[in-house]
Amino acid sequence: MRLEINNITKRFKQKTAVNDFSMVIDANECVGLIGPNGAGKSTLIQIIADILYADHGDILLDGQKISKMKEQIGYLPQYPNFFSWMTAFETLSFMGTLSGLSKHDLQEKIPLLLDKVGLGKEAHFHVGTFSGGMKQRLGIAQALLHKPALIIMDEPVSALDPIGRREVLNLLKEIKKETTILLSTHILSDAEEICERFVVIKNGYKIEDATKLELLDRYHDSAIFLMIRKEDYSWLTTIENLPYVKKIESCGNGFKIYVNRLEDDAHRLLQHGLDSKVVFIKFDLGIQESLEEVFLELVV
Amino acid sequence: MNTFLALSKKEITQMTKEYKIVWLPIVYILLGLTQPIMMYFLPAILQSMGGIEGIMIDPSMAKPEGREVLASTLNSQFDQLGIIILAIATMGIIQGEKANGMMAFILTRPVSVSSYINSKILIHFGLAVICITLGYAMSFGYTSYLFTAVPITQAFLALVFYCVWLLFVITFVAMMSTYFNNSAFIALISIVVLFVCRFCAGLHPLIDVINPASNSLYATSILLTGEVEFLYCFNIIVTGLLVLLMVAIMHNFIAKKKF
């Protein structure tokens, strides 16, 4: 389903959490909402989930007001909270009934879903005994239970261990073919894996909205990453003075060499190195910055 | 309707798990027992406690009639300690779920605000009615045994009027629970307001018409005189309207997401 967010503004007493935020998510698209702490991610997500009221603007799902389309939405709060006296099975059964699923349906679906999120063995344990990660899994299960067309998740994998993260990411990959997903996160490697598109939010403003490729392209450096033996470090001082080398930066165990025209200059540099009998351990062309670096560049 | 049933079922299960369904009736049964037993043994208690010098105990004074005892169960047990206990038992009715985010979470589902509020109020009202009826029945039994019998129709009518007051009590506490975030404060303000209402009852006929606590007063006067006046029905209507108004205020408060 197509989600339209039109000019959302939300003010709290001291600050404006979301400022004139607009975006459109097409059906079956998976969008990652990223931003530093306090950027307004959760506020925006809560407005979309119809928990908070926006001061201005509206949110439409397939042209309808979102408050009328609640059966199509699956929502996972940042810290899912459940009735501690219910078992995992009862929780899902309760939530499912509220979404209008029949008893028969629930009996069938719940065990399968619990298995999928890795709570199969804990189905009849009380939620009160669950750890944070287990609650998160249960929260994901309840968001998926009624097969919503739109899933909104606030930090779905932040509280999970690596195994849980893998399971949940696989689960999301599985459903994303037929579901529109909006998730907020600050763990970029996870978002990178399932989202095609990223929206960066900072201080309530949308500062970037691009697909992963666009983002990486835009912040693509014409630089060469190389690693050489310690003995050859003196060579670096000689190349520093070459006309086509703009700048040398040390980076991890190696060096980043910024040049003007990547391919030609790389060739010349490599030749120069071989002539000087330098042993290259690594020679990488055109460093693609990771999403994390792009993110840092954007928000800091 | 389906969501209303699911929410009501959840409320009942929650009451069972929290043992509220056990301890609240027990408390009311004890309250109901206290009044007839205490009044029956009052002369003996006074005697054994000493300090009878200079006090003359008139045996005919010390033995009131059954309907007086039953009436005093309502207005000195249920209307005092009873209301305090009820306010404390229901203070978290909405505040609890508001604080841990469950209310907002439930409302992200296709659940109407009214079915949420109605399920809460109706189930808690139901429990309160059951508790009061049990306590009242105990009091009725002991009164008939220790004092004189009370006509059952009068006793029943009085109970009905008392339950109207009870509906107001529950709705009022629920409304406070929607507004405020501190459970102790909710209990305190509910108790104060309800007590003020109760004390104002009977002061002036005009105030009585709009005062929901008059229902409690009418219950006792039905017991004492056995008569039902036309004015009483009017008060039921006014109380009903007040309850609807409070539900509407709660609905508005939750729907506008001011919590």
Question: How many CB atoms sit inside 10 A of residue A165's CB?
Answer: 20
**Predicted confidence (pLDDT) per residue in B3-57, tens digit:** 999 999 999 999 999 999 999 999 999 999 999 998 888 878 777 776 666 666 6
Contact list in B for residue A149 (CB cut-off 8 A) is none
What does the block give as tokens for A272? 């120069």
For chain A, what is the domain count? 2
Count CA atoms closer than 13 A to B174's CA, side-chain side.
28
Contact B3 A49 (CB under 8 A): no
Residue type, B243: V
Closest chain A residue to the Cα of B110, Cα to Cα: A70
Does residue A105 sit in the same domain as residue A177? yes
Does residue A275 sit in the same domain as residue A161? no
Tell me whether A97 touches chain B (CB under 8 Å). yes
Residue A299, domain member (yes or no): no
Task: Give the single-character DSSP code of A289.
Answer: P
For chain B, what is the domain count? 1
* Distance separating alpha carbons of residues A195 and B190, to the nearest angstrom: 51
At B123 the pLDDT is 96
A and B: number of Cβ contacts within 8 A = 55
- CA terminus-to-terminus distance, chain B: 25
Closest chain A residue to the Cα of B256, Cα to Cα: A53
Sheet of A150-154: strands edge to edge?
Answer: A73-76, A150-154, A180-185, A30-34, A197-202, A205-211
Does residue A185 sit in the same domain as residue A241? no
Contact list in A for residue B102 (CB cut-off 8 A) is 81-83
Residue B133 lies in domain = 2-255
Tell me whether A49 touches chain B (CB under 8 Å). yes
Domain end: A217, A244, A275, which one? A217
Task: Give the single-character DSSP code of A209.
Answer: E
Residue A45 lies in domain = 3-217
Residue A261, domain member (yes or no): yes
Show the low-confidence residues of chain B (pLDDT under 70): 1, 50-62, 258-259
Look up the CATH number of the domain holding residue A135.
3.40.50.300
Does residue A157 sit in the same domain as residue A213? yes
Residue A21, domain member (yes or no): yes
Q: Write down the pTM of the prediction.
A: 0.84
Does residue A183 sit in the same domain as residue A232? no
Does residue A197 sit in the same domain as residue A232? no
**pLDDT string in tens for chain A (300-residue length):** 888 999 999 988 888 889 899 999 998 889 999 888 888 888 999 999 888 888 888 899 888 888 888 888 999 998 888 999 999 999 999 999 999 889 999 999 999 999 988 888 999 999 999 988 889 889 999 999 999 999 999 988 887 888 888 888 888 888 888 889 999 987 777 888 888 888 988 888 888 888 877 877 776 667 788 888 888 888 888 888 888 887 888 877 888 888 877 778 888 888 888 888 888 888 877 666 667 777 777 777
* Distance separating alpha carbons of residues A90 and A93, to the nearest angstrom: 5
Residue A163, domain member (yes or no): yes
Tell me whether A126 touches chain B (CB under 8 Å). no
